Structure 1
Amino acid sequence: MTLSFLIGVDGGGTGTRARLCDTRGQVLGQGNAGPSSLSHGVPGAWLQILQAVERAFAAAALPTPRWQDCALGAGLAGVNAPEQAAAFRAANPGFSTLVVDTDSFTALVGAHAGEPGLVLIAGTGSVAEVWRPDGTRRIAGGWGFPIGDEGGGAWLGLEAVRLAQQTIDGRATPGPLSEAVCRATGHDADSMLNWCARANQTAYAGLAPLVFDHAETDAQAAALLDASVLALDALVHALDPQEKLPVVCSGSVAKRLQNRLPSVLRQRCREPRGDAADGALHLLRLKLAEAP
C-alpha cells in the first residue's frame, strides 16, 4: 500500500468540506457537499463526504484514486453518539487510515493549532469543548436538535417559528420577525403545520438569519439573540469557570454574536489559527505518526 493523499473533513448539519493534501501537508484542493452530520444517517454522511472528497480531487485537477491510497480524518457532528460513531467507522469504504472525532474537537484542535484552549461553536447547532493543559478534554452542549443545541442556528429558527405560531394564534403581537417567518413558512395554520412537518434542523437553521436581520427593529428578535448569548456563555463557563483559557468562536452564529458576548468572555476570544479541517488533518497526522 502506498499512501498518497491526506484528507481532512469538516462535516456538520449544514454542509461538508473536504481538504485534500499531499503527504507533506501541501494543500492541493478543496471540495464541498451537503450535510454529513450523523443525525442524517451513516449512509447519507458517507455519501456527502465522498462527494466532497471527489470534488476536492476535481478542484486539484487530479483523478480520484483508490481509497486505500488515502488517509482520512473527519470531524463530524453526531460522533459523540457511540453507536452512530461505530456504525460510521464500520462503513469505511476503504480508506487506509480513518480517524473520526467530533466536529467540535477538530475545530478546537485547528483553532488553537494543537495547543490547549476552548472552542465555542454555534452554527446549525451549538457546543463547546475544552482541551486543558493537562491533556484532559471535556464537552458541554452538543446534545443535538431539537432536544439541545441551545443558542445555535436551528434553535434560533425554532424559537422564531414558535413566535410566528403564537402570532397566528393571537397569543403574541405580530412584528417584523414573525412576519418574515410567516413569509418563509406560511401565513396560516395549515401552511405552517405543513412546513413544520417537513422541516429538519437545516431548515430551521435557514431561518436564523431572519432573527439577526430584524434585531435592530424588533424587540422579540433582539430578545432571542440575548437568549442565545446567555446559552452560549453558559457552555463556556461550564468548561472553564476560572476563565483562564483562550477561546475561539466558530460557526456563523457564534461569529455574529461575538460582539454581544459578556465583556469578560469577549476579552478572552482569539482569532483562530486554523479551522476544523486543519484540526482533522492534525489528528490524522498524529495517528499516522503512531503507526509502526
Structure 2
Amino acid sequence: MADQKGAVRFLIGVDGGGTGTRVVLADANGAELAQAAGGASGLGLGVDRAWEAITASVRQAFDNAQQTFDWSHCALGCGLAGVNNPAWLAAFIASAPKLAVLAVESDACTALVGAHSGAPGVIVALGTGSIAAALGGDGNIRIAGGYGFPSGDEASGAWLGLRAVVHAQQALDGRAPLDAFAAALLARMGAADRDGLVVWCCAANQTAYASLAPVVLAHAAHPVAAALLARAGADIARLIDALDPAARLPVALCGGLAEPLAAYVPPSHRVRLVPPMADSAHGALLLAARAMARAKER
C-alpha cells in the first residue's frame, strides 16, 4: 500500500484479472456512482498493460458518472491477479499515477472481502486463473492454489483451455475423432489445419487458453469435456478442504466461471456454497475506503 494524502473526492475499486478489468466508482462517502469494464490488467500480462487497462476503465466509469477524472483526488483500491510476485507488485506501484491513496492486494483478497462482507468465510475465485482464500475468526487470511499458469490455477478458464487443446491436437492427426467438440475448439482458435494450430499454440497466453473454456462448457456432454469438468469440481473441493478442513465456514464461488462450475462441485461441498454478497471490485472499493481512513489518521 502506498498513499500520498491528497484530497480524496472519489473511491475506486478495481478487480483486475487476465481476461478483463471491472471498476466501481463511488464518492468519498462510499455512495456508488458508476461501474465500467475494460481489458485485462492481471500483472502477468505486464505492468504497463495493467495500468493502461485500469486507466481506460476508470476513465470510462468517470464518463458514465459525468464526473471529471483526476487521479490526484482518488483513493484507488486494486485487487489484481499476480501481486504475489513481489517484482511485479513493486513495478506496478512504482508506475502508479499521482493518486491520493493507493492500496493493492491480490484479487483473492478483494474477492474474499466482497463475498463475505469482511466476515469469516472461504472463497474460490474462478476466472482466467484460480485461487482460494479463507478468512478465519482470528482475522488471518490463508491462501491455497493460485500458483499461476500453466502449472497451477486448477479449475480456471486457462486450465480448462490448455487441456481441451489436447483433444483438438489429437483430432487433427487422427488420434481422436474430429468431432463437434474438436471442430468448435479449432474454430475458436481460427486453426484450419495442423500448422495453424501450431502457430496458435506458440502465440497463446493464459487469456487465449481461457477463451476456450466456453467451448468446453458448451460441449459438457462430450466425454473429454465431461472428464475435465468433473476434475475441475474435484479440484475446487480440494481447495476448500485445504483451507477449512473442519468444514465450518461458508464457501462462495466467485469469478466468471463460478456459476457454470458450481454444478460440478461434489455434493458434499456444494451444500455449503452461498452466494457472494458482493464481487471483487466492491471488495476493492472497501479496500480503498479503509486505506483512505488510515491515511487520514496519520
- Classify the TM-score, shorter chain: over 0.9
1:171 positional shift: 2.4
**In the TM superposition, what are the counterparts of 1:99-178 in structure 2 within 5 Å?**
99-178=103-182
Q: CA–CA distance in 2 between the matches of 1:240 and 1:173?
A: 42
Cα deviation, residue 257, structure 1: 1.3
Kept in 1, the 8 Å contact 2:43–2:82? The answer is yes
In the alignment, structure 1 segments of 5+ residues that lack a partner are none
> 1:168 offset after TM fit, Å?
1.9
1:95 aligns to 2:99 (yes or no): yes
Work out the number of aligned pairs and report it: 290
2:102–2:291: 8 Å Cα contact kept in structure 1? no
What SS class does the counterpart of residue 288 from structure 2 fall into? helix
Kindly, what percent of the aligned residue pairs are identical?
Answer: 48
Distance, in Å, in 2 between the alignment partners of 1:231 and 1:187 is 33
- Residue type of the alignment partner of 1:133: G
Q: How does 1:1-292 map to 2 (within 5 A)?
A: 1-65=6-70, 67-185=71-189, 186-216=191-221, 218-291=222-295, 292=297
Q: Is the 8 A contact 1:180 1:210 kept in 2?
A: yes
Stretch deviating more after TM superposition (162-171 or 199-208): 162-171
Q: Deviations along 1:27-47, whole A, 9 cap, x unmatched?
A: 111121100000011111011
Deviations 1:158-180 (A, max 9, x none): 11111111122322233321121
For 1:50 and 1:259, locate their aligned partners in 2 and report how far apart those are by CA, in whole Å.
36
SS of the aligned residue for 1:184 comes to helix
Q: Encode CA deviations 1:198-241: one digit per residue, 9 max, x unaligned.
A: 2211111111111111112x111111111111122111111111
What TM-score do you get using the length of structure 1 for normalisation?
0.96
Is the contact made by 2:7 and 2:100 (CA closer than 8 Å) also made in structure 1?
Answer: no
Report if the CA contact (8 A) 1:114-1:282 is conserved: no
Consecutive aligned runs of 4 or more in structure 1 exceeding 6 Å deviation: none
Aligned equivalents of 1:243 and 1:26: distance in 2? 36
- TM-score, length basis structure 2: 0.94
Match for residue 3 of structure 2? none
Matched residue of 1:170: which SS?
Answer: coil
2: CA distance, partners of 1:37 / 1:163: 28
On the 8 A contact 1:168/1:187 being kept in 2, the answer is no
| Secondary structure of 1:252's aligned partner | coil
Q: CA offset at residue 272 of structure 1?
A: 1.1
Query: Is 70-79 or 198-207 further displaced after alignment?
Result: 198-207
Contact 2:30 2:289 in 1 (8 A): no
Q: Give the Cα–Cα distance (whole angstroms) in 1 for the partners of residues 32 and 289 of structure 2.
A: 14
Give the deviation of 1:137 after TM superposition: 1.1
| Partner-residue secondary structure (3-state), 1:248 | strand
2: CA distance, partners of 1:198 / 1:36: 19
Query: Structure 1 residue 100: deviation in Å?
Result: 0.3
Aligned Cα root-mean-square deviation (Å) = 1.2
Distance in 2 of aligned mates of 1:138 and 1:193: 39
The CA distance in 2 between the partners of 1:184 and 1:45, in whole Å, is 25
